[in-house]
């Protein structure tokens, strides 16, 4: 079985642009969460989605948005990019929001560089 897949693996954007990151969960997993990991820091929670609905949101500005599709894949969108948005963006999938932490599987992430 394929693990959590994220695309693209790397990309470079210019300040002020918009970016869309994609995540496909493990087959059978219906919940997807997004994390931002700035260099030298641990991952920080951005969103959780389950059954196409937002179930949790971290302390991020409204420039960050996400959605989940009927096939449970997800997109993370960031508008008006700032240099500080440069980070590794991680997606984690689980069966549902109540899954214990050990049931989470993370993807390898998308490395976003804003110049």
Residues 61-100 that bind another protein (CB under 8 A): 88, 90-92, 94, 97-100
Per the CB < 8 A criterion, the answer to whether 34 and 90 are in contact is: yes
Task: Check residue 25 for interaction with another protein (CB under 8 A).
Answer: no
Contact 67, 3 (CB under 8 A): no
* 23 touches 32 (CB < 8 A): yes
* Given 21, 25, 66, 109, the residue binding another protein (CB under 8 A): 109
**Residues contributing to the site for another protein (CB under 8 A):** 4, 31, 33, 35, 40-45, 48, 55-56, 58, 88, 90-92, 94, 97-102, 104, 106-109, 111
């Amino acid at each position: 079985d394929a693990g959590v897949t994220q695309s693209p693996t790397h990309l470079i954007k210019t300040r002020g642009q918009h970016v869309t990151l994609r995540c496909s969960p493990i087959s059978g997993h219906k919940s997807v969460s997004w994390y931002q990991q700035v260099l030298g820091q641990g991952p920080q929670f951005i969103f959780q989605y389950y059954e196409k609905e937002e179930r949790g949101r971290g302390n991020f500005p409204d420039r960050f948005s996400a959605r989940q599709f009927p096939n449970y894949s997800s997109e993370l969108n960031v508008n008006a990019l700032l240099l500080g948005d440069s980070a590794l963006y991680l997606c984690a999938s689980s069966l549902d929001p109540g899954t214990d932490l050990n049931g989470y599987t993370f993807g390898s992430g998308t490395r976003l560089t804003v110049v």
